[in-house]
A and B are shown apart, each in its own frame.
Chain A
Amino acid sequence: RKEVEQDPGPFNVPEGATVAFNCTYSNSASQSFFWYRQDCRKEPKLLMSVYSSGNEDGRFTAQLNRASQYISLLIRDSKLSDSATYLCVVNYKARNSGNTPLVFGKGTRLSVIA
């Protein structure tokens, strides 16, 4: 089972639509969870952290389900500028050290169409 798994998409949605992305992770000891956004030919940028209680930032809502090892991102009222790849990111215990590198999913591509 892959460490962080996402539906690659693409998701093609009209402006104003609500779209949800899902992500599953394999390491039950993971502690930190994030959604990053990557525009075409650009670097990834943090969209939002994901907290156990769920959190919202404007049109974006993130949820974490530790029991199912599942993270979601909901985007309401999609804008053209939301078109990007959304990366699910989880920390993962390194094999030979106490440090915990981040593991990135392959990303889900979103295209918002006028």
Chain B
Amino acid sequence: DTAVSQTPKYLVTQMGNDKSIKCEQNLGHDTMYWYKQDSKKFLKIMFSYNNKELIINETVPNRFSPKSPDKAHLNLHINSLELGDSAVYFCASSQDRAGGLYNEQFFGPGTRLTVL
């Protein structure tokens, strides 16, 4: 029944490792997103995919690589993890309207990443 799901919920890893976070939505939406929420609770968009195509790539280090195998999935792979990558990563999806207007975004439960 979960609309937007993410795995894992918690991820603790050492600096320098490579890790992936998976996201799936069963809402039939055509747009998916990755957000990062840091320790100051600031939620910032990282990437947006529309029908498997990257449409937004904000200023994110290229160690972060999103991959969308189909429009229901958007995974996030992170290479060479750094201490500053510790944060909560939220996946979201929406069915966007024409003209750049937005409908409601549905968020996954988040993945709490801790880099030691």
Q: For the complex, is B95 an interface residue (Cβ under 8 Å from A)?
A: no
Given the known interface contacts A44-B90, A44-B107, A94-B56, the answer about A106 and B101 at a Cβ–Cβ threshold of 8 Å is no
**Interface residue total, chain B, C-beta cutoff 8 A:** 21
User: Chain A contacts of B56 at CB under 8 A?
Assistant: 94, 97, 99, 101
Excluding A34-B102, A98-B100, A102-B105, 8 further A-B contacts by CB distance (< 8 Å) are: A31-B100, A43-B108, A43-B109, A44-B43, A44-B107, A97-B56, A100-B100, A101-B45
Cβ–Cβ contact B45 & A102, under 8 A: yes
* A-B pairs with beta carbons under 8 Å apart, 5 shown: A31-B99, A93-B100, A97-B56, A106-B40, A106-B41
Cβ–Cβ contact B107 & A102, under 8 A: no
Q: Which residues of A contact B (CB under 8 A)?
A: 31-32, 34, 42-46, 49, 85, 87, 91, 93-94, 97-104, 106-107
Closest 5 pairs (CB-CB, A-B): A43-B107, A100-B100, A104-B43, A46-B104, A32-B102
Cβ–Cβ contact B110 & A32, under 8 A: no
Q: Please report whether the interface of chain A is mostly helix, strand, loop or mixed according to DSSP.
A: loop
For B110, give its contact among A43, A45, A93 (CB under 8 Å): A43
Cβ–Cβ contact A107 & B41, under 8 A: yes
Cβ–Cβ contact B105 & A46, under 8 A: yes
User: Chain B contacts of A49 at CB under 8 A?
Assistant: 104
For A43, give its contact among B40, B55, B58, B90 (CB under 8 Å): B90
Contact mask for chain B residues 42-72; partner A; CB cutoff 8 A; 1 contact, 0 none: 1111001000000110100000000000000
User: Chain B contacts of A107 at CB under 8 A?
Assistant: 41
User: Chain A contacts of B109 at CB under 8 A?
Assistant: 42-43
